[in-house]
């Protein structure tokens, strides 16, 4: 039977990717927040909000947020991802990575409002795991994730259909998605015997997936997928990168059948900034430096580093290290700066001398936080994130499958 060849589409670049350098600056420049009006002048396309919030000074914003938080009391739970700017994370009831925060939110049944200072997919996961009556709020709706945006559901569905056509009767393929993906992608995995993973349990979920089928489709970060595959002994010649803008991802049917790991063509804008030359420079300047990077970095960087692991792993290894130790870190700058401040007995610095915060996390400005809290104080919920029931149930299957495996 002839295979229908789809016409290739023109590549599109997420807005979140285009704006990634909007707030980059040299290492001697501060990341301290300015008024929202001043930050808008960088040309970013963030969610609009009432004009009175644009000119409020950061110190006034801080005072008013504290007052609103106190007023709302236990009805409010505020969660802060590690990559949030200091002026926002100071208000968090809990700091953590995306899944840790969502799990915590699910345990806090008394909280009526959950304000998630993170990005869109994180708020979706929190909504999936919390009770239906709890309201999950994202302060800025344009706080997406460039990596998650690289795997649009229509493109992934096309990919899955193609792979089922080619591989469905030839050993099959199991979809595995990173936590950094939309609820609809998690749902696709849930209804197709797939699973979700985090950067800390990717190896365990890959091992499980390979007991269920001969191959893995990993979404949406090719670098975490490749680095995990290497750990499991999968050869680079057994891995393919799926380009959603080319027929069959840019491969022949025969090549797809020979592959063991198919990697979606996605990446993290923050972690792909780190290069092997930066590691060489750090080692030239500090003979006793330890280099720790996130596994979303390229294989070359991960191979050259002394160690690699999740955000929680990086925090743990630096916090528990000996006084006087020196650390070069390959992850988001807001977290690196915070680690340096919280570990004054150590030398902690970012591998990249150009300071570039995660442009999507940076969209959670204190003015947005005050705006949503003012609304809650008046009984008005703005920016609620609500996942439809079918997507919620299917995504939850993939999430619970992960918890049963690890």
Burial of 18 (0-12, 13-18, 19+ CB in 10 A): middle
pLDDT at 7: 56
Q: Which residues lie closer than 8 Å to 162 by C-beta, 6 or more apart? A: 248, 249
Give the CATH fold of the 271-355 domain: Rossmann fold (3.40.50)
Burial state string for 273-310 with b = 16 or more CB within 10 A and e = fewer than 16: bbbeebbeebbeeeeebbbbbbbbbbeebbebbeebbb
Q: Where are the domains of the chain?
A: 34-143+360-387, 148-269, 271-355
Q: Do domains 148-269 and 271-355 have the same CATH topology?
A: yes
Q: What is the pLDDT of residue 170?
A: 84
| pLDDT lower than 50: segments of the chain | 1-5, 28
Cα 92 to Cα 212: distance, rounded to the nearest angstrom:
40
Tell me the backbone φ, ψ of residue 196, rounded to 5 degrees. Answer: -105, 155
With both helix axes pointing from N to C terminus, report the angle between 98-107 and 120-129 in degrees, rounded to the nearest 10.
30
pLDDT, tens only, 316-355? 999 999 999 999 999 999 999 999 999 999 999 999 987 6
Q: Which option is the CATH number for 34-143+360-387: 1.20.120.140, 3.30.70.1140, 3.40.50.2020, 3.40.50.10800?
A: 3.40.50.10800
Position 1 scores a pLDDT of: 39
- b/e 208-236 (16+ beta carbons within 10 angstroms → b): bbbeebebbbbbbbbbbbbbbbbeeebee
pTM for this predicted structure: 0.91
For residues 93 and 77, the answer to whether their CB atoms sit within 8 Å is: yes
pLDDT for position 358: 82
Domain with residues 148-269, CATH architecture: 3-Layer(aba) Sandwich (3.40)
Q: Which helix (H) or strand (E) holds 197?
A: strand 195-197
């Amino acid at each position: 039977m002839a295979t229908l060849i789809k016409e290739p589409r023109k590549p599109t670049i997420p807005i979140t990717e285009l704006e990634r350098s909007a707030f980059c600056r040299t290492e001697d420049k501060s990341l301290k927040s300015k008024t929202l009006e001043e930050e808008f002048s960088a040309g970013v396309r963030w969610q609009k909000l009432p004009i009175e919030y644009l000119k409020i000074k950061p110190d006034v914003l801080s005072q008013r947020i504290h007052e609103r938080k106190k007023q709302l009391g236990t009805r409010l739970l505020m969660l802060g991802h590690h990559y949030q700017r200091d002026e926002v994370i100071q208000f968090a009831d809990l700091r953590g990575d995306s899944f840790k925060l969502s799990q915590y939110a699910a345990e806090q049944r008394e909280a009526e409002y959950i304000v998630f200072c993170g990005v869109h997919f994180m708020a979706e996961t929190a909504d999936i795991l919390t009770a239906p009556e709890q309201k999950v709020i994202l302060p800025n709706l344009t706080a997406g994730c460039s990596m998650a945006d690289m795997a649009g559901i229509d493109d992934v569905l096309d990919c899955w259909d193609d792979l089922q056509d080619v591989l469905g009767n030839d050993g099959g393929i199991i979809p595995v998605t990173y936590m950094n993906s939309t609820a609809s992608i998690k749902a696709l995995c849930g209804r197709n015997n797939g699973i979700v993973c985090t950067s800390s349990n990717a190896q365990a979920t890959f091992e499980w997936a390979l007991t269920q089928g001969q191959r893995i489709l990993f979404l949406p970060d090719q670098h975490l997928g490749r680095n995990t595959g290497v750990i499991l002994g999968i050869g680079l010649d057994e891995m393919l990168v799926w380009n959603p803008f080319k027929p069959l991802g840019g491969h022949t049917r025969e090549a797809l059948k020979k592959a063991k790991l198919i990697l979606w063509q996605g990446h993290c804008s923050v972690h792909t900034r780190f290069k092997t030359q930066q590691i060489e420079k750090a080692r030239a300047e500090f003979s006793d430096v330890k280099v720790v990077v996130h596994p979303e970095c390229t294989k070359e960087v991960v191979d050259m580093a002394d160690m690699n692991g999740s955000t929680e792993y990086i925090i743990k290894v630096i916090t528990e290290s000996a006084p006087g130790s020196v650390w070069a870190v390959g992850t988001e700058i807001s977290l690196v700066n915070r680690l340096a401040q919280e570990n004054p007995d150590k030398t902690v610095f970012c591998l990249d001398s150009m300071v570039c915060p995660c442009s999507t996390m940076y969209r959670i400005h204190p003015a947005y936080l005050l705006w949503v809290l003012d609304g809650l104080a008046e009984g008005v919920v703005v920016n609620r994130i609500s996942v439809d029931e079918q997507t919620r149930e299917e995504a939850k299957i993939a999430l619970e499958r992960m918890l049963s495996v690890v």
